[in-house]
Amino acid sequence: MKHKLITIALLSATALPITVFAETSNLDEIVITATRMPQALHKTIADTTVLSEQEIRDSGATDVPTLLRSMAGVEVAQSGGMGSQSGTYMRGTNSNQVLVLIDGVRVNSATTGATAIEHIMLDNVERIEVVRGNVSSLYGSEAIGGVIQLFTKHGSGVPTITASAGGGTHGTQRYAAGFSGEVDNTSFSLSASKVKTDGVSTINPQIVPNANPNNNGYDNNTINVQIKHAFNTDHAVTASLFSTRSNTSFDSAYGLPTDLYNTQDNIDKVSLASDDQINEMWHSQLRIAQGADDSQTYGALAYRYKTQSNQYAWQNNLELAEGQKLTFAAENLGQSVSSDTLYAQTTRNVNSLLGGYTGEYGKQQVQLNLRQDNYSDFGSVNTGLLGYGIAFADSWRATGSVSNAFKAPTFNDLYYPFQDFGGGYTYAGNPKLKPEQSQNQEVGLHFASKGQRVDAVYFDNHINDLIAINASGSTVININQAEISGQELSYVGDFGNKHVKANLTFQNPRDTATGLLLARRAKEFANVAASHDLGEWNMGTEFRYSGERQDNNTATSPTLPSYTLVNLTARYTIDRHFNLSARVDNVFNSSYSEAYSYNTVGRTLFVGVNYQ
């Protein structure tokens, strides 16, 4: 009944009279991730969502997972409170089948394949672009479910100082400061933040008696630096650095109630890029970058895994004619793993070539992408995407695409001498593994006019050669298949000083061999948010619903009940420099779990003061 009511509310929101909405520039916003070339949001064929700097600020959210939960097609399950290990499931795919980029740079772990997105705080993020669906033909491995690209803050205009501070429930503290601007031909941005919380006990000792009942805290320190110098209107160089250091306390189900566990996680990105407008039609970018994921656990358990990804990319965008764009690029990715575990192999190299075309022919659009990734350890993978869009009637557009994608086996899959899950069984890596393969088809119907946008998308994704543990538990093999089909309905609109965002996702993520639902993924979930500008005040309300989920992929899996959460936000502008903000999550203190036996933090309040 709950999800039916939310469906009715969402459909009612999208049925509001379209003629009364005020015009907004958001529909013409330029995005990069959908094609790797600048493109207006309302012209993207891939299903794309953008969160602007203003939306991030108004949300009052602290970390990236909090915002991702509000998006169509995206689920996040955390094993505890802030900073605890999270799984990000886009369109029902696994966390290691979703690619996360920071300013175009990979920072994922080569041992697990996933990105520790729970350690990225929003004080240093300027905008977020999310592209759903297979886009390996643009970005290579992991992009089966889609791409999440985080753009860090950059400088422009008169140099200014920003600062914020606040506190809240569970001893939470948050501080941030920044200095950014532009002097002559050089723009710069320097920001730093600190987030600390006492947290709650990660594991419920009533379900797992061996868990330590103490609170598990979290501490995060982040810096972001970006400097861009323009030699003239055609040539510029940008250097950037992003670094986050976090310390997470956690519980284990297999130790003693007195055991203490902590993990220090470092995520780093350094990049140097040269942007050159060679002539009127040719833009070239050469980038050298390094991404790193360094995780060290100590206490009752002790181990370390570090990934270093050296990345070189040369991309060329050609504007052949008005509305006709061509891109081609060559990339090299060198991955290395260092650990106190002795891997059979610790390095690999990936050479990639890609080409893309976007064309507008009157009311019709075409997108074509082709890519080849050549891995030194298992060979080559070819991927492609063909998309088509056509405008009809007033402000209506239909889109469709077919594409394929892949996920490369991780170093754990291929070379780990054994994998210990704490449950008494181990398995060895398998160097003969093939990459996971995916084929996706989707169709969409879109409306965009006068400050509002409606998107309805159907998708069907078949994933083959999934990497899983074999029947005897001795190794990993390519065996499982998954089929994920579903529908997404999204709405964004401005009604004078009122703003509405809503989305609803129906999906069926299942293992085709067993028919069981994939772990921790709901068949339906929704989010409805509305805010109101009233003088110096901005007041917001958010409703989030998730259906039942299975905690694992077995017939005896515990069922995680459905839940509905209500969150509130408020911002009061004191003057042009100062404002106060507040956010209340889980207003009614609903009891729910995103992972079986793991606690959530309950009702929380955070209040802050901001200067800009």
**pLDDT tens, position by position, 64-98:** 999 999 999 999 999 999 999 999 999 999 999 99
| Listed residue (374, 290, 380, 363) closest to 102, CA to CA | 290
**Average pLDDT rounded to a whole number, residues 573-601:** 96
- Asked if 163 and 194 touch (Cβ cutoff 8 Å), the reply is no
What is the model's pLDDT at position 586?
A: 98
Please give the pLDDT value at position 21: 31
Quote the CA–CA distance of 600 and 80 in Å, as a whole number: 6
Instruction: Give the distance, in angstroms, between the CA of residue 588 and the centroid of all CA atoms in the same chain.
Output: 28
At 472, list the tokens: 């005897």
The pLDDT value recorded for residue 196 is 98
Q: What is the pLDDT of residue 248?
A: 97
Binned at pLDDT 50, 70 and 90, residue 413 comes out as: very high
- Return the domain boundaries, the chain: 2-611
Taking residues 515-544, what's their average pLDDT?
95
The 3-state secondary structure of 146-192 reads: EEEEEEECCCCCCCEEEEEEEEEHHHEEEEEEEEEEEECCEEEEEEE
**Exposed e or buried b for every residue in 115-132, given b needs 16+ CB within 10 A?**
bbbbbbbbbbbbbbbbbb
The predicted pLDDT at position 450 comes to 84
Rounded to the nearest 10°, the torsion over CA 276, 309, 296, 346 is -170
Structure tokens that stand for 184 in this block: 């002559």
Q: Whole-angstrom Cα distance, residue 45 to residue 391?
A: 12
pLDDT at residue 420 greater than cutoff 60: no
Q: Which two tokens stand for residue 496?
A: 């004078």
Using the predicted structure, report yes or no on whether residue 481 has a pLDDT greater than 50: yes
- For residues 258-284, give the mean pLDDT: 97
Assign 426 a pLDDT band (cuts: 50, 70, 90): low
Mean pLDDT for the chain? 92
Instruction: Give the pLDDT confidence of 311-354 residue by residue, as tens digits.
Output: 999 999 999 999 999 999 999 999 999 998 889 999 999 999 99
Query: Using DSSP, how many helices (H) and how many strands (E) does the chain show?
Result: 5, 33
Q: Which of 2-6, 280-284, 418-422 has the lowest mean pLDDT?
A: 2-6
Cα dist from 63 to 2, 57, 83, 323, whole Å: 28, 12, 9, 37
Q: What is the mean pLDDT of residues 497-521?
A: 94
Q: In what helix (H) or strand (E) does residue 83 lie, and over which residues does it extend?
A: none
2-611: in CATH 2.40.170.20: yes
Residue type, 611: Y
Percent of the chain with pLDDT over 70: 94
Q: Please tell me the predicted confidence (pLDDT) of residue 449.
A: 87
**29 strand-pairing partners:** none
Average pLDDT over residues 112-134: 96
Question: What gap in Å lies between CA 611 and CA 580, rounded to an integer?
Answer: 9
| pLDDT score of 383 more than 60 | yes
Helix (H) or strand (E) holding 192: strand 186-197
User: Poorest-confidence range of 7-21, 55-69, 108-122, 439-453?
Assistant: 7-21
